[in-house]
Structure 1
Amino acid sequence: MDYQQLTAEQIAALVENVLDQAVDDVVPIVQLGHPALRQRALTYTGQLSPELLDRLFTVMRATMYAAPGVGLAAVQIGIPLALAVLEDQYELTEEAATVREREPLEYVEFINPRYTAQGSAQAAFYEGCLSFAGFQGVVSRAVTVKAAYQNREGEKIQRDFRGWQARIVQHEIDHLAGCVYIDKAETRSLISQQEAERYPGFDVEQARTLLGF
């Protein structure tokens, strides 16, 4: 399906069809191979009624929680619109939080987001994806980014994110460009969930030595 050719009515019908599958506001997350993950998401221009948009965000949020995950783009439930939800309230050890620069991220909704790196600093860590279940890979990403997006009222917002928050922002906005983290990962770093115990805390340096990347 060429999502770029869809009319507003067809997009609304597609959203209704996805939401009809919801059980307790949770819908299936599509996996690699689904075309929505490999096409640029459509700019949101009001294709959905306010009620349908509200319902969509409710389902996206519930699906993210149920996964569980810290972010979900609309394309991950098969909807080709430039929308995403993010939240990271998971507890970590103080050491892990310090190493990752991981601070809690309160729930936020992105409409038509983009990001730009601030400075040249990069950090490499393991990350995974709800649409590539069961695997993790090392990705180098900008330490600090500026995100520009809209809220439901159409207000334009710019906000700086750093550390793990910046990683989540980049990961989800990449989805809306048809990019999955494996496209940017050190492919030799890829590990399955069954093998993850070899790398406590997803130790990147240990993995580099043992896997040769």
Structure 2
Amino acid sequence: MSVDLEPRTAPPYNHFTQIGDPVLRIRSDEVSPERLDSKEILGIVDQMVKVLRHYDCVGVAAPQLGVPLRIIAMEFREEKREQFTPEVYLQRKMSTLPLSVFINPKIEIIGDMQHTQPEGCMSVRGFSARVARYDRVRVTGIGMLGTPDELELVGWSARIAQHEMDHLNGIIYIDRMDVSSFICNTWARINSNGGRDVITFDK
């Protein structure tokens, strides 16, 4: 369900920071133990979940809202299945992922198999490319909002976790992509509209 968000000009934003913003290229700081239950951190987590659902995406890292802290949120709701053909859903090994929020997460690769699939990012709006990711990972950390402190993920959910963890280390998917596969997602629409088209950065 979409949530109306008033524009913010200071972090945590109601929008996604875009490539070029320095916050996306630095290693984020750990949240210290004394701050874990603070109103500040709880407010950031709440904002991350609101933005995640407002934009109907599957993951967000705190730096994407302008906050250089090691916090990630992930969710792949069952309703998102309708956005893909059954063939794509199966081929990309997609599955429901309940809301999962981690503070100071760590990721462990628990299988050698990799898959190369199209991947995009809300901080590189309008583009996508093929990226190789490991098929199985384990995420550990301080679980928030009912998230356990350890989660084993497979397929597309494992891809989401690796993508968001990269953000905490100043890495964007374009650093890992097959360069020749990098595309503007709206290229066909641009042509059919005679070049009169825009990439929007709000919902």
Q: TM-score, normalised by structure 1?
A: 0.76
> Which deviates the most, 46-55 or 91-100?
46-55
How far the C-alpha of 1:67 sits from its partner, in A, is 2.0
- SS class of match (1:107): strand
Query: How far apart in 2 are the matches of 1:70 and 1:152?
Result: 17
Most deviating of 41-50 and 107-116: 41-50
What's the counterpart of residue 93 of structure 2? 101
Measured against aligned partners, the alpha-carbon deviations of 1:109-146 in whole angstroms (never above 9, x if no partner) come to 01111212112100000000000001001000001111
Q: Judging by fraction of residues, say which structure has more helix.
A: 1
Which residues in structure 2 correspond to 1:45-194 (within 5 Å)? 45=32, 46-47=34-35, 50-89=38-77, 90-91=80-81, 92-152=84-144, 157-194=149-186
Q: Which has the higher contact order (CA 8 A, sep 6+)?
A: 2
- Cross-structure match for 2:31: 44
Take 2:156 and 2:60, find their aligned partners in 1: how far apart are those partners? 15
1:85 is paired with a residue of what secondary structure?
Answer: strand
Structure 1: give runs of 5+ residues left out of the alignment.
1-15, 22-26, 198-213
Q: Which residue of 2 is the match for residue 30 of structure 1?
A: 17
Q: List 4+ stretches of structure 1 deviating above 4 A.
A: none
User: 1:102 and 1:156 mapped to 2: Cα distance?
Assistant: 21
SS in 2 for 1:102: coil
- Aligned with 2:149: secondary structure? strand
Identify if the C-alpha distance between structure 1 residues 119 and 76 changes in structure 2 by more than 3 Å, giving closer, same or farther.
same
- The amino acid of 2:86's aligned partner reads E
> What TM-score does the superposition give when structure 2 sets the normalisation length?
0.79
Look up the equivalent residue of 1:160 and give its one-letter code: E
Quote the offset at 1:17 in angstroms: 4.1
SS of 1:124's partner is strand
Question: Hey, what's the Cα distance between the residues in 1 that align with 2:125 and 2:68?
Answer: 20
The 3-state SS of whatever aligns with 2:179 is strand
Q: Percent identity?
A: 31
| Number of equivalenced pairs | 176
Structure 2: which amino acid aligns with 1:102? M
Equivalent pair of 2:114/2:133 in contact (CA under 8 Å): yes
- Whole-angstrom CA distance in 1 between matches of 2:139 and 2:127: 27
